[in-house]
Amino acid sequence: MNTAPITVEKWSMNHLNQSYVSVTFCIPGVQGSSQCTTVDHMVLDTGSVGVRVMASALGSVLADRLPAQSGATDDPTGGAPIAECAGFGSGYTWGSIKRADVTIGGKTAGNLPVQVYSDNAYATPSDCVARGVADIGTVAELGANGIVGIGSARRDYAPVAQNIYSGVYYYCTSSGSCKNTRVPLDTQVMNPVANFTSDNNGTIIRLPALPADGKASVTGELVFGVGTRQNNALPSDANIIALNQNSHFTATYKGRAYTGSIDSGTNFNALWDTTIPYSGVFYTPPATLSLSAILKGVANGATLVTVPFSIANGWSLIANQNAAYNSLATPYSGGFIFGLPFFFGRSVYTVLDDAMVDKQSGPFIAF
């Protein structure tokens, strides 16, 4: 089986537009019930790479028994545990890198490097905190027990294999001493899909369309593989947006070009428009706006794709206490992000770097 169910529901702290899957973690090579645990409400994120689970959701016994990842390039001993400060738009997670067998639906990624965050094994480094964003390593902050990053990259931070960067990977010689380091690709946190033995070239997220006032809950499907089975064929008329090495393309909105992305882990569409009133986190137009953006992939001669979208008054809309909406948008000046609202009513394909689907090479997004 190459599918897993997706749910969109209010689960913790009333987080909206949060798509969840369940993940089973086992000690590598051991599948007994006492060696495994299933963690629900893991947020599904095409905007990041790698599996990250909160230590308390994993359980202290299993979290302690998962083997620590070592082998940092700059570790003189070669045996010190590796930890990571993983950055996201909303904050960071800090914690140990461990190895686990990870099962999602019917597919297993064996001996996968994962982050077990908020495990309190090592003091948070000052340059991690200095990013100036929040620690999202709690259910209250993240609205989830962890993150399943299934973006287009295979490893979460490939440049760290060659260069030391502040606030990313560390080797830790004691609970109070973690030092910045390079980390080889094969020990970095990895896209679980790339680790599968089959159906490993990408994913499809399928979510149903929504009424204008949203829904209390939504059930969809995560499909593994693109063009590998009858249930994951890429349609001949699909819009294909080639991505750069950072999973970006160009989005033109009202005549201005922005760095664009399509990200299931972002709860709302995020864009900058000074003509639309806003209050706090939401745009608040007096009536729902029908707008569009033009997407262009990075390939030479890429076809322009016009994508319509709506923006409603966010505060008025969410008063009905639903969990899923397709017309929520937030002010954001750092680019143009189609968040989870983009995914409703579509099949959205994410194909990995260097993967092939028919004659089209990844990385790309298609819909």
**Domain presence at residue 286:** yes
Mean pLDDT in residue range 45-56: 97
pLDDT at 152 over 90: yes
**Domain presence at residue 211:** no
Count structural domains, the chain: 2
CA–CA distance, 40 with 2 (Å, rounded to integer): 18
Q: What was the pLDDT predicted at 302?
A: 84
Residue-number span of the structural domain to which 238 is assigned: 230-366
Calculate the average pLDDT of the chain: 95
Choose the final residue of a domain: 168, 195, 222.
Answer: 195
Count Cα neighbours of 84 within 13 Å in the Cβ-side half-sphere.
29
Q: What was the pLDDT predicted at 132?
A: 67
Which residue bears the tokens 């004691």? 174
The pair of three-digit structure tokens given for residue 285, joined into one six-digit string = 């137009």
Segment holding 256, helix H or strand E: strand 256-262
The pair of three-digit structure tokens given for residue 136, joined into one six-digit string = 């999202």
Q: Indicate the pairing of strand 305-311 with strand 91-104.
A: unpaired
Same-domain check for residues 167 and 259: no
Same-domain check for residues 74 and 160: yes
Same-domain check for residues 236 and 314: yes
Mean pLDDT in residue range 155-174: 96
Per-residue DSSP letter, 159: G
Q: The pTM is what?
A: 0.95
**Domain presence at residue 276:** yes
Report helix, strand or coil for 238. Answer: coil
Same-domain check for residues 76 and 168: yes
Same-domain check for residues 79 and 159: yes
The tens digit of pLDDT for each residue in 179-237 reads 999 999 999 999 999 999 999 999 999 999 999 999 999 999 999 999 999 999 999 99
Same-domain check for residues 165 and 28: yes
Terminal Cα-to-Cα distance of the chain (whole angstroms):
23
The tens digit of pLDDT for each residue in 109-137 reads 999 999 999 999 999 999 999 876 789 99
CA–CA distance, 224 with 98 (Å, rounded to integer): 24
Residue 188 sits in a domain whose CATH number is 2.40.70
Q: What was the pLDDT predicted at 300?
A: 79
**Domain presence at residue 118:** yes
**Domain presence at residue 222:** no
The tens digit of pLDDT for each residue in 22-43 reads 999 999 988 666 789 999 999 9
Which residue bears the tokens 């009905």? 320
Q: Pick from 309, 202, 296, 201: which is nearest to 241 by CA?
A: 296
